[in-house]
Every structure is written in C-alpha cells, then in structure tokens.
Chain A
C-alpha cells in the first residue's frame, strides 16, 4: 500500500473511531437528560465492565467456546475477593498479576 493510501486509511479509521467518542459528550453534556436515560446510563459502567471481563474469564477465542478452567478465571477469584475486601485498585492489580502468574506456573 502506498504512503498516501495508508495515510487515508488510518485517517478514515481515526474518524470513524473518534465520532462515537465525541458526539455523545458534546451533545449530552450540556443537556438535562430524561430520568429514564440518566438512570439507564448510571447502570452502563457496571454492565460494560462485566461484559468486558466475562468472556476473558469464561470463554476461549478461535474457535469461541465456553470454558471453565482458564487460569484467568482461577486468578480472578482471589482478585475479586481482594477487591471486595480492600477496595484498593493498586493492591488488586498486583494481587491479580501474582495470582495469574502463579496459576500459569501451576497449570
């Protein structure tokens, strides 16, 4: 691919990535949202985080299959307990890394 073509390709990729990031912030931030939308958006972070984590712990990629014995899942249990107990982000990240490292070592 030529330099010019590559440049236009990543520019287009950047544009279609940037617009969904920018439009809601610009359009919604200065507006009073209807109650149902505000309440719905309040639940979105918990939903997104859980939706991002769950397949990492419970499924394999290529081909996608359900899976209950991933080191990620086993490492997630002590990580979750530690997070619930201490509510420390730094500590949880470190405990998670150690647990994952240990599980990979054992399995």
Chain B
C-alpha cells in the first residue's frame, strides 16, 4: 500500500468528510447518555472510560440503566454481549473489502465497527475507490465525537432541550438514504422488505434487541433462496 504523505492526508480528509452525518447523529445521543449516566450517579471519568472501552451506544444506555437499578456485573456483561452481537454480521459483511489487510489494521478497524460506520463504509466500498484508511478515520471520528459528547452530557446535557431542530432524526435519515444505496436490484428490495417486516414482528415478540439479528439473518436467507430460485428458473428456460 502506498503511504505518501499527500495520499495519507487526502484519505484522512475523505474519512472526516464522510463521517459528518454520523457525528451529527452521535452528538445528541451521546449527550443524553451523559445526562442519564449523571442521574444514575456515574462520574465523568466513568462515562468516558465506558465510551472508550465499549463504544456501542445502545448497550451503554442499557448498562447505565442496569447499574442504576443495581444489577449484577455478570448480568450487565451478558446483556452487553447479546445487544452487541449484531456487529458479528456487520464485520463478516465488511470482511470481503479487506483482502490482504494486516491483522494490526483489522484489529484497530474492528474497534470502530458500529451500525452507523458499517452502513456508511459499506455504501462507500460499494461505490468503489474507498480507501481503507478513510474507512478507519471515519470509525475513529465517530468514536471521538462519541467520547466527548457522552462526557459533555454529564456536565451540560440538561441545558439542551430535547428534539432541537429534528436532530434526533439524523441517524434514521442517514440509515434511510444508505438503505436506498443498498437497493441494487429486485432481490435487494425484496430482502429489505422482508427484513423490515420480520424486524417489526420480532421487535414486538422477542425481548431485548435480538430483533436486528433475527430479522437480518431470516431476510438475507430468504433473499438468497429467492435469488437461487430465480436463477434456476432462468437457466431452465
């Protein structure tokens, strides 16, 4: 891999530019986590340490609530594991874009795999020409904003009114657009529709957030079967 200084700095800039919707979305969520953590009696360094070591929003909200209610550490760690297991699917899907990458790079990159960075990086890799270093920078930009906004929330989160300027919708808006980028044919549309349906049903019927993994696996499997049936139908003609 070439690592001339100019190429490095342009990869850095591309990663930072691409990360802006993520940063915009993380900021209010991080602040509200900080507020919640402060109410639960956590100190700023405790919030910061959790954001650095765990870096997974949903599970941190749950952990803070469990800490406040006096849950056992074993229960908190088990719940964290279950809630974050969905990243297994994301890292598997990302893996095809890192042939020949060093273990060190992958170990570093893996730390920043979130729902949001996964979605943006996948869209960029599919477009082509997305530098791995830009992908890493994007992950780390999200991590930095997350760290500072969660700690800031402990101090000043209560000053910001909830729902300002529709900022709570930033990540949903981003996911909608990135989903549109993923719809590259009828099989993808069918898979997305099935995933949405399964996800709502699983959300209503299953506890916790197993709904993401269950719905994604079911829909991708059904999509694959549909694709194969369609291919067989065409080759039989």
Contacts and interface: CB of A to CB of B under 8 A. Distances in A.
A95 to B, nearest CB: 7
Contacts of A21: 84, 87-88, 90-91, 110-111, 113
A10 B74 CA distance: 11
Nearest to A56: B172
Interface string B10-28: 0000000000110010000
Given A29-B106, A48-B216, A72-B172, A10 B54 contact: yes
A25 B109 contact: yes
B91 A51 contact: no
B169 to A, nearest CB: 4
Chain B contact-residue range equals 35 or more
Contacts of B159: none
B166 interface: yes
B188 A43 contact: yes
Given A49-B119, A52-B175, A64-B203, 13 more contacts: A10-B49, A22-B91, A33-B96, A41-B96, A43-B219, A44-B220, A47-B195, A50-B195, A54-B197, A54-B199, A55-B200, A59-B203, A95-B173
Interface of B: 20-21, 24, 46, 49-50, 53-56, 59, 63, 67, 73, 76-77, 80-81, 84-96, 98-101, 103, 106-107, 109-111, 113, 115, 118-119, 122-123, 163, 165-170, 172-183, 187-188, 191-200, 203-204, 211-212, 215-217, 219-221, 223-224, 227
